[in-house]
Structure 1
Amino acid sequence: MLAVLRKIVQEVNAAKDLGSALSIIVQRVRAAMQSQVCSVYLLDPDTNRFVLMATEGLNKKSIGRVSMAPNEGLVGLVGTREEPLNLEDAASHPRFRYFAETGEERYASFLGAPIIHHRRVMGVLVVQQKERRQFDEGEEAFLVTMSAQLAGVIAHAEATGTIRGLDRQGRGIQEARFVGIPGSPGVGVGKAVVVLPPADLEVVPDKTVTDIDAELQLFRSALEGVRADMKALSKRLSTQLRKEEQALFDVYLMMLDDAALGNEVTTIIKSGQWAQGALRQVVMEHVQRFELMDDAYLRERAADVRDLGRRLLAYLQQAHQACLIYPENTILVSEELSPAMLGEVPEGRLVGLISVLGSGNSHVAILARAMGVPTVMGAVDLPYSKVDGIDLIVDGYHGEIFTNPSPTLIKQYGDVVEEERQLTQGLDALRSLPCETLDGHRMPLWVNTGLMADVARAQQRGAEGVGLYRTEVPFMVNERFPSEKEQLSIYREQLAAFHPAPVTMRTLDVGGDKALSYFPIKEDNPFLGWRGIRVTLDHPEIFLVQTRAMLKASEGLNNLRIMLPMISGVHEVEESQHLLHRAWCEVRDEGVDIPMPPVGVMVEVPSAVYQARDLARQVDFISVGSNDLTQYLLAVDRNNPRVADLYDYFHPAVLQALQQVVDGAHAEGVPVSICGEMAGDPAAAVLLMGMGFDTLSMNATNLPKVKWLLRQVTLEKARELVQQMRQIDNPQVIHSALHLALRNLGLGRVINPAASVQS
């Protein structure tokens, strides 16, 4: 069954549209399970009825005509119960409903499995048999697995619009919603420009072209390029390979011949398909044919065909990239965005970013926040390769993407974009004003930085200091560890840019989702592994070089603060301070006269929460990393969209932990700040101020909104809200109650500009 399942999945994924995929499934599942009938019913959201969309075994004329409500028939029962139904005698079940046009009275046994995608029932997959018998566990498991596969296919069809025309009304589903991870706040409405990963045949979409001659010329150039590469490679390796191995290159050249692959691709291009799509179609057909062969030697040839296809695709992509057109409102989409891709878009045209991989803390997300571009990361379910050229909406507040949005939705989000623009203009007036509450409480607002692009943005927004400078960013953009001199130059620039305001530099924080290509860390569970201070304490040479560079960079400025990441206990602080003191002594011995800067720790793991007071005795300040602390307290990977709903910094446990840290630090007379997404959420900032945090540090984009809101409330009111929220045991209710309380005070306009669309 596993081998059969793999073959069906391959065929379904290669199907050109939803109709083809459904036909393949009903045919192959019926044959695999040796049943007389296999049918697919899809839930039409307009009518809320399950419509027969494909069948093998029932009367085909009933497709699109037979439908039932969720409270009707066995199909409706499977859909509403959201679990398989296995019956030996379907007709005797009280929910059995007879449809004369299907001829299904002849079939006794019934097995149905719901098709579910992200908790949403999309349809039901059914097999039926004439004789009365119970389907066994293996057959039931097979059908459930197939329905899970079909769920992804349907969701992708919704996104790309290929589902249209398949339902009874011929309208289909006009828009689809995909959930990722918020990368950078804001809303972008525009057209998708997909940047495909280099030479990955499987993600190349179909695309109709009008200039067929141009595509044929592109393909001929690619053929010539690969032929030349093969000949050069064969010549270079001629002394190292035996004759039979050398013959492989001759086979490659034969396959490239006009009578072989070349001719097939050319034929498809002439039908109106672009060269890349035609190449994918031909190569994948050959690959599947080879992979299904019984002979082991012939199966291996699939790899040769795939390799040849990739080489041709690389040439085609190179030519395509050179003539890529970016519309006025470009939303850049890729499997994994890179800063270089962002740089290719002409200035003023980039309105949104979508990355299938990556997290809210990835380099691209940090850059996007610095640039103020709405971004969604981790959109793993988006069929990104097929959305090129279609209309999209990027909601960076909620981490949501809308494909083929309706005119109504475009207008609603367009209004949000305009409101944001007006709000930003209005907030500019606050730049030179202090963040002071109505009853005179001063709340310093600092920024998180990592790139020089952040500096200008932070200063434009009126930042009073840097609460977190991510020193790993210069390490990540390098191809080797930067030298002490190189680091000194980077740190000096940052310190001088904000002087005399304080700049808090976090020592190197890699591991988890932050990798260095030249210092790979391979672990099964990286978030609970070797990361943060654990890495640099194990490599004191990295720590000493970095802190020496920091100390030297602060000469004559004296606005440096050093912060230690991922501290889980007092012993790590003691070890770090020993190394810091050593670096300080070495720098002073070189004649650099600088005082020892304040040293602090980041509270990011539960153990540090419980030791907050002990840690406070060892350091000059404490800073809470709200992103990681929430992740570790709730045991939720914040970069995983599957559990995104569970990651919530308004969770009562998180709020209690934050209060415990503040109380512990203040008991020792040590100031405590907080950095991370929570500090940049205006509503959350009110609570944090009420808890007693001394400083809030956030991305520069959100700083004016936070400042505006805090200037509209009193410290007393903020403390009152903290007490009210502590009585609530549900994070969603805390969200609602807090936002309602602020709206009742007339302060709802900066909390969430896209909230009205969501509701």
Structure 2
Amino acid sequence: MLEILRNIVQEVNTAETLPAALEIIVQRVRDAMGTEVCTVYMHDPETNRFVFEATEGLNKSLVGKISMAAGEGLVGRVAEREEPLNLEVATAHRSFRLLEGIGEEPFSAFLGVPIIHRREVLGVLVVQQQEKRRFDESDEAFLVTMSAQLAGVIAHARVTGAVSGANSGAGAGGVPTKIAGIAGAPGIAIGRAVVVSPVADLYAVPQRRAQDRRAELRAFKLALRSVRKDIEQVAEKLGTQLNPEEHALFDVYLRILDDATIGTEVASRIKAGQWAQGALSEVMIQHIKHFERMEQSYLRERAVDVKDLGTRVLAYLQSTDTERQEFPEASILVGEELTASVLGEIPREKLVGIISVKGSGNSHVAILARAMGVPTVMGAVDLPYTRLEDQELIIDGYYGEVHMNPDAAIRRRFAGILADDQAISEELESLRDVACETTDGKRLPLWVNTGLMADVARSLDQGAEGVGLYRTEVPFLLRERFPSEEEQRQIYRSQLEAFAPLPVTMRTLDIGGDKALPYFPIEEENPFLGWRGIRVTLDHPEIFLVQVRAMLKASEGLDNLRIMLPMISNVAELDEAMEFIRRAYREVLEEGSVVKMPPVGVMVEVPAAVYQARALARKVDFLSVGSNDLTQYLLAVDRNNARVADLYHAYHPAVLQALQAVADAAHAEGKLVGICGELAGDPGAAVLLLAMGYDVLSMNATNLTRVKKAIRNLNMETARTALAQAMLLESSDEVHEHLAGVLAENGLQSFIHPRLD
């Protein structure tokens, strides 16, 4: 069964359009189950009906012409109830409805299962048979499994069709489509896609038309000759080390590259107008999939050889492609896995947005994007990014969504939000140098989170009063080895000097989870519950001591350093870390540096630290809540996983109660408490945090004046009332709605960003 499933899914993956994918499904499923009919009905979001889209065994002339509503007929019942329906005599069921002309009168047995992707019913998969019988449990299990396997493939094919304009009545631009991802940096962006493909990845080459077909053809032939020469040289070099059978493999390689086979196919596509890299990618992937579908394992393994050859040719093509990239005035950078270095290739004035298929809100790109104020969506896994070159896209960085093929109405709505955001930003500039305090005089210092030197100027320009989180891992991530003590001292000194005399809170090295150093890999099955944060540095005191020494030396003469320890989950860890810090301090003094012992604090990021917050506060100078990780661990939701992104709610009542508990614990010990997660930069949440008693809010510079505006528009009584009411609510949606009302009542309607469907 697994082999049959795998083969069907592989074949469906080769389909270029949704209709082609559905045609493969009905053919292969009917054959695999030995039934007489297999049909797929697809949900049309515009009409909210299930359309007869593909069949083997019924009247194909009606494909695309008839449909049923949810709840209508057996198919509608399956879709409405979102569960299988297995009938011995379909006509005897009260929901049965005969579709005229479809030709299902002879068929008695009926088995239908819903096709569900991310809680959305995409369609219904049906098999039918003339014999009066219930399909057995193995048949039902097979069809349910097949439906689950195909759901993602169908979703991707549907989006791909929307991009190409196939299977839609919206014209060449395709149908309006929304792709869910993870919010990387807030804001709205409207622009043209610029697709960035990684080096020599056949599956990531964007579709693009050739500007000069002859030049593309010459480049391809030159790349072929170069690879052929490379293989001949390797074959000659290994001639005496391989037996004749093994050496014959190189002859196979050379034959694959022969102009009469793959070379001819690529050349013909180039002549038809495709650029060389795209033509090569399409042909090679087609051949790779052909080999992968073969039954004999020996032949299936040849797919690896074909892929290797294609990758070699592509690498040469990319190295000779010296054409300077032209960027539209409003460019949205799109790629499978963007890196911080890629951003340097595009002029900042032309970059309006970023979309990455992979990655998280903690990726280097997301961190840099927030510092630059560029709306960003990460983890857009369903995005057919290679097909998006020069297409108009809209980014909703508030909710982590990408809109493709936007119609006039969608474009107007987002253009309006963008214009409002720009107007608000201009208005908020006047708040840069004023105090963040309520109308009745309660001060609330606003600090910033930094990690790159690019953050410094922007932070100071926005009126930051200090740094609540300096991510020291960023310089480690951008290197190919551990930075030395002196290198670290210079980096930290730059940060401390830039903000002096304002305080700078430096978090000790926080790697692990989704932040792995290329030269210090951590491979774990469950990295977020594994070796990360303080656990790593306590196990490697040579790394921890060097870093703390560098921090202390960097603070000489400035005395604005604060040290913060990440991922503390028990008092013993804190005691051990404090002993290392005191040891580093003694060593620095012995070397002649004149420095003060800086304040040391703990990040509260795990539930255990919430319940031990008071015990931890006794031993340190301050507590700081990392609301991103704390929310993740409290709700058991990976905040970087697009599949469960809708379950990650920082307004969850459990999160609010934990935040209040930490604030109360810190104050009970007479210690300051701050927060440095994304929640601190939310104007609505800032109202609650103010009322909870948080002494400092630290956020991305982009949000600083927005939070300041919110705090300056209300008094403490209003904030406390808002908190008291929020604490009685039972869901994050209720809290969100409640805070939207509070903001609106206090003249802050412009900070409310409703999700646009």
TM-score of the superposition, structure 1-length normalised? 0.96
Alignment partners' CA distance in 2, 1:233 and 1:324: 34
CA contact (8 A) 1:158 1:173 kept: no
Q: How far does the alpha carbon of each residue in 1:9-43 deviate from its partner, in whole angstroms, 9 at most, with x for none?
A: 12211112112111111111111111111111112
CA contact (8 A) 1:18 1:163 kept: no
Q: How far does the alpha carbon of each residue in 1:202-226 deviate from its partner, in whole angstroms, 9 at most, with x for none?
A: 3445555474333322321221221
CA contact (8 A) 1:64 1:167 kept: no
User: CA offset at residue 81 of structure 1?
Assistant: 1.1
CA contact (8 A) 2:206 2:385 kept: no
**1:360 matches 2:361:** yes
Q: Which residue of 2 aligns with 1:545?
A: 546
Q: Which amino acid aligns with 1:491?
A: Y
User: CA offset at residue 122 of structure 1?
Assistant: 2.0
CA contact (8 A) 2:617 2:666 kept: yes
C-alpha distance 560-686 of structure 1, shift in aligned 2 (>3 A): same
User: CA offset at residue 507 of structure 1?
Assistant: 0.6
**1:580 matches 2:578:** no
User: CA offset at residue 412 of structure 1?
Assistant: 1.1
Q: Which amino acid aligns with 2:45?
A: P
3-state SS of paired residue (1:100): coil
Q: Which residue of 1 aligns with 2:496?
A: 495
Superposition pairs of residues 633-712 of structure 1, within 5 angstroms: 633-712=634-713
Q: Choose 527-536 or 93-102, whichever is displaced more.
A: 93-102
Superposition pairs of residues 37-56 of structure 1, within 5 angstroms: 37-56=37-56
Q: How far does the alpha carbon of each residue in 1:289-337 deviate from its partner, in whole angstroms, 9 at most, with x for none?
A: 4334444433322221121122122233444574433211111111111
Q: Which amino acid aligns with 1:344?
A: E
Q: Which residue of 1 aligns with 2:394?
A: 393
User: CA offset at residue 532 of structure 1?
Assistant: 0.7
Alignment partners' CA distance in 2, 1:66 and 1:736: 41
CA RMSD of aligned residues (A): 2.0
3-state SS of paired residue (2:281): helix
User: CA offset at residue 167 of structure 1?
Assistant: 6.0
C-alpha distance 64-684 of structure 1, shift in aligned 2 (>3 A): same
CA contact (8 A) 2:266 2:276 kept: yes
User: CA offset at residue 100 of structure 1?
Assistant: 3.2
Q: Which amino acid aligns with 1:254?
A: R
Alignment partners' CA distance in 2, 1:498 and 1:455: 8
3-state SS of paired residue (1:260): helix
3-state SS of paired residue (2:741): helix
Q: Which residue of 1 aligns with 2:93?
A: 93
Alignment partners' CA distance in 1, 2:172 and 2:519: 52
Alignment partners' CA distance in 1, 2:529 and 2:389: 38
**1:305 matches 2:303:** no
Alignment partners' CA distance in 1, 2:121 and 2:181: 20
C-alpha distance 321-115 of structure 1, shift in aligned 2 (>3 A): farther
CA contact (8 A) 1:186 1:373 kept: yes
Alignment partners' CA distance in 2, 1:435 and 1:82: 51
User: CA offset at residue 61 of structure 1?
Assistant: 1.3
User: CA offset at residue 446 of structure 1?
Assistant: 0.4
Alignment partners' CA distance in 2, 1:169 and 1:421: 31
Alignment partners' CA distance in 2, 1:560 and 1:537: 21
Alignment partners' CA distance in 2, 1:223 and 1:84: 52
Q: Which amino acid aligns with 1:252?
A: Y
Alignment partners' CA distance in 2, 1:98 and 1:208: 48
User: CA offset at residue 255 of structure 1?
Assistant: 1.6
Q: Which residue of 2 aligns with 1:116?
A: 116
* Identical counterparts, % of pairs: 61
Q: Which amino acid aligns with 2:494?
A: E
Q: How far does the alpha carbon of each residue in 1:362-401 deviate from its partner, in whole angstroms, 9 at most, with x for none?
A: 1111111111110111112222222222221111111111
Q: Which residue of 2 aligns with 1:404?
A: 405
Q: Choose 318-327 or 79-88, whichever is displaced more.
A: 318-327
User: CA offset at residue 83 of structure 1?
Assistant: 1.2
Q: Which residue of 1 aligns with 2:619?
A: 618
User: CA offset at residue 158 of structure 1?
Assistant: 4.1
Superposition pairs of residues 421-500 of structure 1, within 5 angstroms: 421-500=422-501
Q: How far does the alpha carbon of each residue in 1:572-623 deviate from its partner, in whole angstroms, 9 at most, with x for none?
A: 1111111111111111111111111111111111111111111111011111
CA contact (8 A) 2:194 2:389 kept: yes
Alignment partners' CA distance in 2, 1:543 and 1:481: 12
CA contact (8 A) 1:107 1:128 kept: yes
CA contact (8 A) 1:159 1:175 kept: no
Q: Choose 426-435 or 170-179, whichever is displaced more.
A: 170-179
**1:75 matches 2:75:** yes
Alignment partners' CA distance in 1, 2:552 and 2:623: 20
Q: Structure 2: where are the runs of 5+ without partners?
A: none
Alignment partners' CA distance in 2, 1:52 and 1:225: 51
Q: Choose 648-657 or 165-174, whichever is displaced more.
A: 165-174
Q: Choose 311-320 or 544-553, whichever is displaced more.
A: 311-320
User: CA offset at residue 88 of structure 1?
Assistant: 1.4
C-alpha distance 205-500 of structure 1, shift in aligned 2 (>3 A): closer
Alignment partners' CA distance in 1, 2:321 and 2:446: 46
Alignment partners' CA distance in 2, 1:168 and 1:370: 41
Q: Would you say how many aligned residue pairs link Structure 1 and Structure 2? A: 756
Alignment partners' CA distance in 1, 2:226 and 2:346: 28
CA contact (8 A) 1:50 1:70 kept: yes
Alignment partners' CA distance in 2, 1:553 and 1:60: 75
CA contact (8 A) 1:159 1:387 kept: no
User: CA offset at residue 165 of structure 1?
Assistant: 5.6
3-state SS of paired residue (1:679): helix
Superposition pairs of residues 151-230 of structure 1, within 5 angstroms: 151-160=151-160, 161=162, 164=165, 166=167, 174-204=175-205, 206-209=207-210, 211-230=212-231
Q: Which amino acid aligns with 2:658?
A: A
Q: Which residue of 2 aligns with 1:316?
A: 317
User: CA offset at residue 456 of structure 1?
Assistant: 0.2
Alignment partners' CA distance in 2, 1:322 and 1:6: 41
3-state SS of paired residue (1:12): helix
Superposition pairs of residues 319-338 of structure 1, within 5 angstroms: 319-320=320-321, 322-338=323-339
Alignment partners' CA distance in 1, 2:294 and 2:19: 27
Q: Which amino acid aligns with 1:482?
A: P
Q: Choose 653-662 or 290-299, whichever is displaced more.
A: 290-299
User: CA offset at residue 162 of structure 1?
Assistant: 5.2
